[in-house]
A and B are shown apart, each in its own frame.
Chain A
Amino acid sequence: MNLYSYFLANTGRPIHKNVHYLPIYERHFHPFVGRPLTMIEIGCGGGGSAQMWKRYFGPYARIVGIDINPACRAYEDEQVKVRIGSQSDTAFLADIVDEFGAPDIVLDDGSHRMDDVNATFNWLYSRLYSGGIYLVEDLHTAYWDEFGGGFRRPGTFIERCKDLIDEFNADHTRGALPPTEFSVATQSMHIYDSVVVFERGRAVDKRSIITGNAQHY
């Protein structure tokens, strides 16, 4: 199934996406297709995206939608569960993880406010399974005042990501930065237009070595 085709052909519940997100989803979510997984989608929108994820990942997937709008409960079905609460309420998030277990995928398409995006990431990223994906979208709001954003404004998630790039390389800073919970448990960061993707996992061996015949070096 091609997500872009599904999105364009959708006649069911509405899905609101920037079209260039669809290939990004495929690039990072493809390994989970057909496997058991728990996906937390923050922000249920019109309910169409949960249906898209269900069809994309297959029958072993559980999609947990989080929204502040109680009307979103109507989107529930056999694979889609919806819980009502704020994405920055860590007690609420803890209840979600207690109920459904650690997520394999988190997709933050919630309020897009910088304080909410940061608070959710702060709490939820470390709860993700090793090998899991954390994707934040619509980060153009990091540049917009009404979402707590602004160009190079301290505290936006984009500015946070710039610091996280340094943290990610903490082992190479010659002591300027210590290893952090993030640096020891993150395999990669991917920056796209309006989207940031984190792959969680440990780099067990980071030696720099040369193999082969040294005479040809």
Chain B
Amino acid sequence: MLQPCGGLWGSATIIDSDPACETVRDAVYCPLRPDIFLDSYNGWGIYHRDGSLVEACGYYRLPSKALIGQSRHLGLPPTLALAAPGAYVYGGPVIMHFGHFLTAALPRLWEIVRRGLPRDAKIVVHSHEAPEAWFARDYVRTILGQLGLPPDRFVQFPQPTLIPRLHVPRPALEEQNFAHRVFRTLCLRIGAPFQAAKQEGRAIYLSKTRMRNGTYRLMNEEPVDDAMRAAGIEVVHPETLPFAGQVGLLASSALVIGTAGSAFHTSVFCEHPPRIVGLAYGPVLNANYALIDALAGNDARYVHSPDVTALQSDAATFCYQASDPAALAHALIRSI
């Protein structure tokens, strides 16, 4: 019933050196449009004065290193607002989904664990929400709080704005492509206060049955939960825990089982991560898992089942179902 995943969707290159940094003179900030998701809007991004994209500021993902929204060249308005005097650092897009927050918003903050950010520098971001609204979420408040970044360190501009001098750290992780080791250092700094003693023999199953939405869902997961409980495996719902508790949960566990999801990414915050057995939604694994596993040094194994098939999906969730979820759970248990 279960087969090992045999390839990666993307690549998982780990880079020892830190990312490069550069300074852009006369950078032009073009905001997101509130009514269009950033993937679908080509008018946002950071551009040179001639309208060409600042390549180091681009938000890329997918194995093709696709530019997400934005444009290679954008016609800029003849008049631009001018940013208030001060130091500015580019922070990239801030997307309010846990996985994307880790893989898109955090990766440009790595300088904090090297030389620190310039004092009083504002972090320029693209987001559909105001920083104060991000901080209503526990994981944002905790992660950025650990880095000493309150909401007022972040800035976005409502209209195209000229920034005379913008410091640009390249990202320490690019989804499905590469990660620099400093990203792990950054995550360990964040996770340091939340580590918990390893409980030998503690096995947990990360259930998505209480999630209201998620990128990938097994829609008939309840029998899997039941089978896990019957086998003495704790069934947990990580999204119901505060971020600190999620780190502690993984840190204290010897084995984590679950369907593939960003909850596995929390392992990158654990000094001693658990062994991972993940059920993927096909034979080819998203390289993001391999990137996080390589950074964290995870002992991870991913399997898939031909008995798990896709259902009609909505805009926010890719939906799957197992033909026999209890049998799937028993196969997972036998494989550990």
**Residues of A that sit less than 8 Å from B by CB:** 118, 122, 126, 160, 163-164, 167, 175-184
B180 to chain A, nearest CB (A): 7
Q: Which of B13, B21, B56 contacts A177 (CB 8 A)?
A: B13
Instruction: Verify B178–A184 contact, CB threshold 8 A.
Output: no
Determine the distance from Cα of A126 to Cα of B21 in the docked complex, in whole angstroms. 12
CB neighbours (8 Å) of A182 from chain B are 17-18
Q: Which of B11, B20, B171 contacts A183 (CB 8 A)?
A: B20
Quick one: closest A residue to B65, CB to CB?
Answer: A175
The 8 lowest CB-CB distance pairs between A and B, nearest first, are: A182-B17, A180-B17, A179-B20, A181-B18, A175-B65, A184-B20, A180-B20, A181-B17
B13 to chain A, nearest CB (A): 7
A89 to chain B, nearest CB (A): 16
Q: Please provide the chain B residues from 174 to 195 with a CB less than 8 Å away from any CB of chain A in the complex.
A: 174, 177-178, 180
A111 to chain B, nearest CB (A): 19
Which of B17, B20, B171, B180 is packed against the most chain A CB atoms within 10 Å?
A: B17
Determine the distance from Cα of A123 to Cα of B75 in the docked complex, in whole angstroms. 42
6 contacts between A and B (CB under 8 A): A160-B16, A164-B17, A178-B15, A178-B178, A179-B20, A183-B17
Quick one: closest A residue to B60, CB to CB?
Answer: A175
CB neighbours (8 Å) of A178 from chain B are 15, 19-20, 170-171, 174, 178
Quick one: closest B residue to A179, CB to CB?
Answer: B20
Tally of contacts, chain A with chain B, CB under 8 A: 47
CB neighbours (8 Å) of A160 from chain B are 16
Asked if A180 meets B65 with Cβ closer than 8 Å, knowing A122-B16, A126-B18, A164-B17, the reply is no
Q: Please provide the chain B residues from 158 to 172 with a CB less than 8 Å away from any CB of chain A in the complex.
A: 170-171
Quick one: closest B residue to A174, CB to CB?
Answer: B65
CB neighbours (8 Å) of A175 from chain B are 65, 177
Determine the distance from Cα of A160 to Cα of B16 in the docked complex, in whole angstroms. 8
**Residues of B that sit less than 8 Å from A by CB:** 11, 13, 15-22, 56, 65, 170-171, 174, 177-178, 180
Instruction: Verify A180–B11 contact, CB threshold 8 A.
Output: no
A180 to chain B, nearest CB (A): 4
B21 to chain A, nearest CB (A): 7
Quick one: closest B residue to A181, CB to CB?
Answer: B18
CB neighbours (8 Å) of B11 from chain A are 176
Which of B19, B20, B178, B180 is packed against the most chain A CB atoms within 10 Å?
A: B20
A139 to chain B, nearest CB (A): 16
Instruction: Verify A163–B16 contact, CB threshold 8 A.
Output: yes
Which of A118, A122, A164, A178 is packed against the most chain B CB atoms within 10 Å?
A: A178
Determine the distance from Cα of A134 to Cα of B170 in the docked complex, in whole angstroms. 25
Instruction: Verify B20–A177 contact, CB threshold 8 A.
Output: no
Instruction: Verify B178–A181 contact, CB threshold 8 A.
Output: no
Determine the distance from Cα of A169 to Cα of B61 in the docked complex, in whole angstroms. 21
Instruction: Verify A180–B18 contact, CB threshold 8 A.
Output: yes
Instruction: Verify A179–B13 contact, CB threshold 8 A.
Output: no
Quick one: closest A residue to B11, CB to CB?
Answer: A176
Q: A176-B13, A181-B17 are in contact. List 20 more A-B contacts (CB 8 A).
A: A118-B16, A126-B18, A163-B16, A167-B15, A176-B11, A176-B178, A177-B178, A178-B15, A178-B20, A178-B170, A178-B171, A179-B20, A180-B15, A180-B18, A180-B180, A182-B17, A182-B18, A183-B20, A184-B20, A184-B22
Instruction: Verify B15–A177 contact, CB threshold 8 A.
Output: yes
CB neighbours (8 Å) of B178 from chain A are 176-178
Determine the distance from Cα of A160 to Cα of B180 in the docked complex, in whole angstroms. 13
Which of B11, B15, B21 is packed against the most chain A CB atoms within 10 Å?
A: B15
CB neighbours (8 Å) of A184 from chain B are 20, 22
Determine the distance from Cα of A118 to Cα of B15 in the docked complex, in whole angstroms. 13
Instruction: Verify B16–A181 contact, CB threshold 8 A.
Output: no
A162 to chain B, nearest CB (A): 11
CB neighbours (8 Å) of A176 from chain B are 11, 13, 177-178
Instruction: Verify B13–A180 contact, CB threshold 8 A.
Output: no
B167 to chain A, nearest CB (A): 14
A40 to chain B, nearest CB (A): 19
CB neighbours (8 Å) of B21 from chain A are 181
